[in-house]
């Protein structure tokens, strides 16, 4: 949808406060961007339909808005919006309702059911063979050794350690406890701390990057962050995505390239592989840093499709 400037002052204030709330709670960069953008779409639709306050929202308004959303064309791929997109849009509205409740405001109803989509489709889980191909591709994914080492270290954190993108971005060198074979996550979701076990093989990959390849970046000693750019500043979300895309492209595997793999898909993949190997769901919950076991149990449904 083409971005339009909101005219309604109360909607603009709510949107700003919602963004700040997501940031305070430590949500990922992707959520801090997507949730407000989709909420902005909803507010703009309300404006265009002369609904100028959230207290005036009724069930039939929600149904009409969702019906219009389902009719909206997908400008990227053609056809209608995917079920995954529609469900993500609903999730944004659910999150906004949560915000309203937390701030003692009456939330509107959401009389809409989620669209059907398989768990595999939603999470975009990779096979263990595809993961091996990604690691192998870091041997030739970039002409410069320091970038190849960085990309391999990223795969270790995103897949082998199951870290969220925001956790990887904020990882500091002192957080890698080489002697204890642990990684300390100081800024997880909702600022929840945890320790992640890491085996000696993956630890060696991180050590080779941190104490060898990373030193090749100019002024690298001036930054405490593990993953830095050519100018030795902390990597951003887009930089991680670009590194991952470069590795995927290097595999020359057409099916892998067309999967539209995100950093979070690697986290989903390691959780699924652990479950397939017989790891207890409670241990996977602790590994991923989920506050609720319910969040982890989604992976049990994946086995039905494999």
| Two structure tokens written together for 252 | 């020359």
Contacts of residue 24, defined as CB under 8 A and 6 or more positions apart, other chains included, come to none
Among left, alpha and beta (phi > 0; psi -120 to 50; other), residue 222 is: alpha
Q: Is 35 a catalytic residue?
A: no
Beta bridge partners of 177: 182
Active site residue: 61, 234, 259, 264, which one?
A: 264
- 267 labelled catalytic: yes
Measured in residues, the chain has a length of 306
Name the residue among 102, 97, 29 with its Cα closest to residue 262.
Answer: 29
Which of 11, 66, 159, 299 is the catalytic position? 299
53 among known catalytic residues = no
Annotated catalytic, 148?
A: no
Of 32, 89, 152, 189, the active-site residue reads 189
Whether 60 sits among the annotated catalytic residues: the reply is no
Phi, psi of 147 (to 5 degrees): -75, -35
Check residue 80 and report its DSSP letter: B
**Cβ(129)–Cβ(137) below 8 Å:** no
Write down the catalytic residue from 32, 148, 164, 273: 164
The answer to whether 103 is a known catalytic residue is no
Contacts of 301 (CB under 8 A, 6+ apart): 119
Q: Which residues contact 49 (CB under 8 A, 6 or more apart)?
A: 61, 64
CA separation for the pair 184, 123 (Å, rounded):
26
Task: State the catalytic residues.
Answer: 164, 189, 264, 267, 290, 299
């Amino acid at each position: 949808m083409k971005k339009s400037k909101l005219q309604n002052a109360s909607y603009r204030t709510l949107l700003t406060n919602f963004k700040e709330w997501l940031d305070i709670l430590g949500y990922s960069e992707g959520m801090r961007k997507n949730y407000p953008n989709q909420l902005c779409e909803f507010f703009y639709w309300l404006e265009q339909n002369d609904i100028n306050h959230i207290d005036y929202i009724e069930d039939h308004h929600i149904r009409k808005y969702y019906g219009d959303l389902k009719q909206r064309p997908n400008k990227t791929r053609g056809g209608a919006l995917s079920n995954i997109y529609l469900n993500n849009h609903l999730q944004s509205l659910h999150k906004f309702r949560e915000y309203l409740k937390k701030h003692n405001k009456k939330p509107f109803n959401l009389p809409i059911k989620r669209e059907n989509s398989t768990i595999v489709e939603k999470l975009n889980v990779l096979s263990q063979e595809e993961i091996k191909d990604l690691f192998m591709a870091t041997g030739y994914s970039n002409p410069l050794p320091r970038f190849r080492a960085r990309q391999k270290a990223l795969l270790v954190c995103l897949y082998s350690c199951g870290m969220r993108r925001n956790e990887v971005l904020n990882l500091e060198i002192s957080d890698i406890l080489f002697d204890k074979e642990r990684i300390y996550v100081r800024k997880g979701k909702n600022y929840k701390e945890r320790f992640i076990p890491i085996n000696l093989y993956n630890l060696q990959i991180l050590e080779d990057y941190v104490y060898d390849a990373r030193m090749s970046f100019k002024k690298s000693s001036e930054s405490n962050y593990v993953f830095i750019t050519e100018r030795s500043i902390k990597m951003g979300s887009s930089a991680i995505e670009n590194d991952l895309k470069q590795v995927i492209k290097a595999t020359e595997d057409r099916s892998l390239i067309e999967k539209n793999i995100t950093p979070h898909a690697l986290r989903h993949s390691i959780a699924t592989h652990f479950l397939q190997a017989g790891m207890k769901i409670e241990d996977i919950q602790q590994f991923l840093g989920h506050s609720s076991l319910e969040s982890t149990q989604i992976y049990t449904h994946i086995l039905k499709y494999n």
